Structure 1
């Protein structure tokens, strides 16, 4: 389910693999790439140790919900990933 990521985020940062965006609507209409919405949930692949007074709450393998424009996208070992602060995560699903 989760892949091994050799990168370790610092402090309260979390690396997330976003869920794939949907290709079709429930009615069967195919959505073009330009109209697809960014996914708002994904799986935690790595988590930093947390801040000095606050340890990290999320764990590797947790499915989380985050804001639409939260985090920074980056490419790592051929995967499109997100890195964000733990405070940008809205809920653990």
Structure 2
């Protein structure tokens, strides 16, 4: 993959949604919502001071209707502005 976001943008790969509930009920594909969490795969060149804490491999939470979806090497990614990232998940 050779994609480098421009400006204040990041490339994020969405995390997979659970297919079962905790009680074992299987969720059909048409009832699933796209997850609002993903892993940063690439960071743009113009990093502001407030966004220097972001790095590749971080798991982030982002807004529901934010970003532009793209497909690279048959994988789906989302390109987000730094401002669309709501926070970083810690382990």
User: 1: CA distance between counterparts of 2:81 and 2:15?
Assistant: 18
Q: TM-score, normalised by structure 2?
A: 0.88
Alignment of 1:1-93 (within 5 A): 5-50=1-46, 54-55=48-49, 56-57=51-52, 58-93=54-89
Q: How much has 1:70 moved relative to structure 2?
A: 1.4
Paired residues, number = 87
Q: Report SS of the residue matched to 2:83.
A: helix
After superposition, the CA RMSD in angstroms is 1.3
Moved over 2 A (4+): 54-57
